[in-house]
Structure 1
Amino acid sequence: MKCLKKYLLKLEKSKPVRTAADDADKKEILLNPILVKSFEVIKKELGEVIGKDDTTFGYTQITLGYENWKAEDILKAVLPANQEGAQSFSIVGHILHLNLREHLLPYKTLIGEVYLDKVPNISMVVNKVNTIDSTYRNFQMEILGGTGDTLVTVKENGCSFTMDFARVYWNPRLSTEHSRVVGKLQHGDVLYDVMAGVGPFAVPAGRKKCYVLANDLNPDSFDALVKNCTKNKVVERVKCFNMDGHDFIQTTLKADLIQRWKDPYFVGGVHITMNLPALAVTFLSSFQGLMSGVQEVSQDVELPVVHVYMFTKETADDVAIGQVAENLGYLSKPSEAAGGAVRATRSGATLLNMAPKAPGKEEIC
């Protein structure tokens, strides 16, 4: 009965409505004893049903086992008091990825076994054991449970991505941000993806019939990027590069952008994505004087929209704006961030605060 739905006893591997043990023609409805202390609690929900002779209310004992509890309930029961922090995880393909804090490391094997048992469609549980490598954006991991390889396939924004999760960077929590940026692109726009990874910006942009130059320094990411472009049938619109980001900006991006600006028939917009939060803001220095000495480009061209990501321990907008202004050469040191350089930079900037990555660390675009 729908009126009792909120009172049902909901447990893993257990059905709240079952055939009565003493009469195969009757049904038993198991109610949550925390919510229903007496029959009086649900009288108003049952209404006229109460008066029927075949409706009874009573108590019974049921035996619950390991299979009846969710992973978070089990971990809360078996870990020492106040040892929270094991409930947050990401799933990438068949891999469940944890980032356990130090106080939980003595229990890591137990935690891995519980998640392997309880979370459907996974065959491996891993834990990150160091920070993300700033050069190649990958991290060392240890297997807490399960077996197999780390080659995964995931779907996002209508595209399929295959990668070796142990050798590249992939964060499923960024899917909304990928959608937001790609949603700004129109047919015929140009996207320069300076730190493209395995293609979460580049591939769906290619699907929208944008022209994309996608670059990543990590050879494993580059290899996956090329294969993902082929898999998603965007090879004619996405060109892939395996270069340092500074070199990519100062050579490939510059040359292509000049050609776009010189083309009288080009009417699309230009976007640049730089998603390497630990370092991306420092790559803005490569734009300083990038077009100095270029004579054949009109002064009234539409400038690109740059999406640059960074980590900051401060939530004040001026801190992020100050980092941008400093790396664009508008000020010599962050302490000048309250001055006119920040006001000038802010006039052309929009800040978005991404989901917190860790206590005291925000990601800003």
Structure 2
Amino acid sequence: MHLQLPSSLKGMTKLDRDQFTQVVTVPFVNVPVECIQTAKWKNALLTLHLFKNVRDLDPTSKTHKQVLFDPDVIKSKEDVINAVPSITKYAEESFDFTPITLTYANYSIEQVIKAILPDDLGKDKPINTGSGYSLIGHIAHFNLKDAVLPYKHIIAQVVLDKLSNVKTVVNKLHEIDSVYRNFELEIIAGEPNTIVKCRESKATFQFDFAKVYWNPRLSTERERIVNILHRDDFIFDVFAGVGPFVVPAAMLGCTVYGNDINPESVKWMTVNLKANHSKKSRNEYHVFNLDGREFLRTIAFPRIESYQQEVKGDDEKKWCLSSNKIVILMNLPDIALTFLDVVSEWLSSSIDGSEQWILPVHIHCYTFSKADNREEDIRTRLKSILPNVNDNQITCRFVRQVAPNKDMMCVRIVLFDNKKNEEENPTKRFKQDSSE
């Protein structure tokens, strides 16, 4: 139902809930109780936030219910008969119109905010007018543009009113810090508490959202990676954050090495690994607080070589781990691609017997691209960084759209694979996240 809210709401900066109350007239039919569940209502029913479209006729009636219809769809008795033929008899007998009172509670967040903000906001350039937000535990996170800031407090109050699980509303103030991957935020409503708990990939995560990086819109991508891992794989996460990749990998039974330059991320990654640790999974985890290049040079590459030599020299392990792999994750899209120069150095050095290594190395590196041909753009950039890797060792795929002309992409580089390259769960299908 299209609701025309009072024009007096426009530009409101202090929430007056009473101004949302209005009386509208809608069509109805009195229907026997036994017909309610069996009738095919299609899109004819009146659908509003926190509103019952099937209600009692009166306190004494137990045989019939009053069914309310959308006045934009149903305008006459004939419309009801055409939309729901099974109640023709009851439409003939009781079709009529009745006034109903709608209050602030009956409007969604989007409807309330749209009614309050001036119509000219976002006309010249699309902006987040307040209906777009992320939920992280008990926090609703906004990224409001300057034009919307005068209305930030009323937007935050609406969210607190409508979402019972939200206790704190924050707004991003600046771009993500390229070193620690966090951003300054302000609490615009609710409790001054930024330590959150949330669940993802069957794991529980806890962290201080004001001091670390966490993007819930990447949950689909993280799930995709977790689903291609096998028990006993070796995982090296160069920019691990609070552990969205390494925690579920450890739960799966992988040996994980999580690294992050932000000490606060390392603190919470350790908390999350311990909290989700299970003796049944036999998981082994190691946590580091190093620069990404230092982690690759001093931890990842030496351990990879050690594992390869260990497996190559042990026939039982060679057989047991022949279907496993080493995975290097590099999720820092702004600059992760540039860290591959360390991989190039490693490949150029003398790696004894690497052609006989049992465990292939799969590198998943994330980047952004604005080019018309995203894959060609990424491959061109890679050639200057990784001249010792062939085109057939590289695959690119779309992850999500982050801006109208900017995509997040994942490039997979497969090294030392003497077998046919493993497909990334071709039987599984993952939705593409195109939200900003």
Q: Residue 162 of structure 1: CA displacement? A: 0.5
Secondary structure of the corresponding residue to residue 244 of structure 2: coil
User: Which among 132, 143, 147 is matched to residue 103 of structure 1?
Assistant: 147
SS across alignment from 2:236: strand
User: Residue 322 of structure 1 aligns with which residue?
Assistant: 380
Residue 307 of structure 2: aligned partner? 260
Counterpart-to-counterpart distance in 2, 1:50 and 1:261: 75
- Whole-Å separation in 1 of the counterparts to 2:369 and 2:56: 58
Structure 2 unmatched runs, 5+: 1-35, 123-127, 411-436
Residues 1:44 and 2:89 aligned together: no
* Aligned counterparts of 1:16 and 1:283: Cα–Cα separation in 2: 58
Q: 1:138 aligns to what?
A: 182
In the alignment, what sits opposite 1:238?
285
Q: Percent identity?
A: 35
Matching of residue 285 in structure 1 with residue 323 in structure 2: no
**Structure 1 match to 2:403:** 358
Cα 1:34–1:23 shift into 2, 3 Å: farther
C-alpha distance 49-188 of structure 1, shift in aligned 2 (>3 A): closer
Q: Please show how residues 86-101 of structure 1 align to structure 2 within 5 Å.
A: 86-101=130-145
How far off is 1:51 after superposition? 2.8
Give me the whole-angstrom Cα distance separating, in 2, the residues matched to 1:53 and 1:15: 19
Kept after mapping to 1: 8 A contact 2:81/2:87: no
1:20 aligns with 2:57: yes
1: CA distance, partners of 2:294 / 2:203: 29
Question: What amino acid sits opposite 2:301 in the alignment?
Answer: K
Q: CA deviation at 1:210?
A: 1.1
Structure 1 unaligned spans of 5+: 331-340
Residue identity matched to 2:328? I
TM-score (norm 2): 0.76
> TM-score, with normalisation over the residues of structure 1?
0.90
Paired AA for residue 345 in structure 2: G
Match of 1:80 in 2: 118
Measured in 2, the distance between the counterparts of 1:237 and 1:164 equals 25
Q: How big is the shift at 1:22?
A: 8.7
Contact 1:321 1:345 in 2 (8 A): no
Indicate the residue corresponding to 1:272 in structure 2.
328
CA contact (8 A) 1:258 1:297 kept: no
Q: Does 1:71 align with 2:118?
A: no
* TM-aligned CA deviation for residue 28 of structure 1: 1.4
Letter in 2 for 1:66: Y
Instruction: Indicate whether 1:126 and 2:183 are aligned.
Output: no
Distance 1:289 1:299 in 2: 17
1:314/1:362 contact within 8 Å kept: no
Q: Could you tell me whether the CA contact under 8 Å between 1:125 and 1:146 is conserved in 2?
A: yes
CA contact (8 A) 1:262 1:296 kept: no
Cα distance in 1 for residues equivalent to 2:239 and 2:360? 20
Counterpart Cα distance in 1 of 2:300 and 2:70 = 62
Q: Which string of whole-angstrom CA distances, capped at 9 and with x for unpartnered residues, describes residues 67-125 of structure 1?
A: 11001011111111143522221100000111122322222122111112112310111
Supply the AA of the counterpart residue of 2:378. A
Residues 52 and 30 of structure 1, relative CA distance in 2, 3 Å threshold: closer
